[in-house]
Structure 1
Amino acid sequence: MTKHARRFPEFYITAPQPCPYLPNRRERKLFTHLVPGKSSAIIDNLLTNGFRRSQNIAYIPYCENCSACVSVRIVVDQFERKRTNKRIWKRNHDLYVERVSAIPTAEQYALFSDYVGTRHADGGMADMSALDYSMMVRDSVIDTFLSEYRQRPEDAAPDADPQDWPLVAVALCDRLSDGLSLVYSFFDPELSWRSLGNFIILEHIEQARREGLPYVYLGYWIKDSPKMAYKTRFQPQEHLTARGWVLYEPEDGEE
């Protein structure tokens, strides 16, 4: 095998299995392994053009007779918080965020377990061990980091160390050439009133703005899946189509 061939991705297709988002559908994925030695430019090109990363695998839906999954990215420099998003931002004014290296901790895993056990008890991540979680965080050949969100106690001293405050949310994120890609996030399931999942997206939009990055990638959106409805709250956004990335025109009622 030539050096060029070793650096070029080899693609595989998964066997059909039940779709987790749409009833009576079967899903397949096209995927490739992201390993050291693969061209960083090729990996970046995959992840900025519809592929998603899970550990060291990049995948994209490859379903027969179905194209419901649409890649979505927020246009950062045109984004403005409106109505619902303004309320969510204000609601979480007492949170402290810190970007940390992609290194798992027991504190993170405890929060992750509570989140998955409450929100996704029947999903494929429900039985993830501490080692599984560690691999999810660590196993990356690109620039990956964590955002930790901690709640400032009402009686916190001015010189208090934020690392002593309760951890309420975590986001695993990739830094790409033109944006931030949210890989996975989790949060305290008892704090539903905070809308932490939405706040994490809002906060990463501001981080991308500070870094001069034009996009925040949200993964896939499915129009007919209620689980995905929140993604259209962040406008303007672009959707990946057969014509490339195009500006999405919101329907009535979408911000």
Structure 2
Amino acid sequence: MTEVPPAGHSRLRSSSKFLNHPGLREWCARDMLRKNGPDQASPAGGYQMIRILEDELQGDARVEDLLAAERRVHPGLDAWLDRAYVPTFTAADLQDLPETSLGKIFYDYIVERNFELDFHPPMPKTMYALTRLMRARSHDIEHILLGAGFDYLGELVPAYYCLTQLHKEFSPELAGELSQLYMLISLRYTVRTVLHYPETWPTAMECIARGIRAGEQSDFTYMANFEPYLHLSVPEAREALGIRGVADIDTEPMSLKWGDASHRALVEASARRAAKG
């Protein structure tokens, strides 16, 4: 039975651990309803949600029990967790790869944004945390493989690709647990698009459709180690990995309409460097 608090009261108790979490309630209200602006850059909101979800809401026994049960019937998952391979390649390993290779495109991306790649976190103590660590370098590479821009609306392509693949491969319960991150991250884009930037909604729909289509047509790559394919061109890597139903989409013009000042500044800086080069 759901307890409804009196008007003006912040206490809330329900049957949903997500609704009961005040930080997640606040995040959902703020990040799905606000306009973009200088008060908070959009990536910062995503990082806040990830920490709430992974550190506080998915740290219970349920996801561990689901992973253990799935391992008994899914040899691939069992082998992936047993292997526990965390990619160790550094930016220096990528910089001399061919210009059109998957790895060099990834290198240019991390250098342009001044991202840190050379880190060595401790081995996690739970299976769920291990899955997140093994996937840590996969997301940005998936952007390239799926033809998605490194911008706000481009995030929808890999999100719906992973959502589709997880529910195609695993039990509904485990797929649901592993999908929570992708669903919450993507909803802040779709809701704010409709509420405040409706001219960008057709592009958002196209990104969602492309992610679902590629997820349905491709081999299962959620557990793939992309490191052996970094020297290949993007089309060659797609073929080797069994990624199908993909076409590049330019989401930057609509993301600029959608985005905040931090994204516009990044795009302008990139254009200046390209003009000099």
TM-score with structure 1 length normalisation? Answer: 0.30
Q: Larger Rg: 1 or 2? A: 2
**More helix per residue: 1 or 2?**
2
**More strand per residue: 1 or 2?**
1
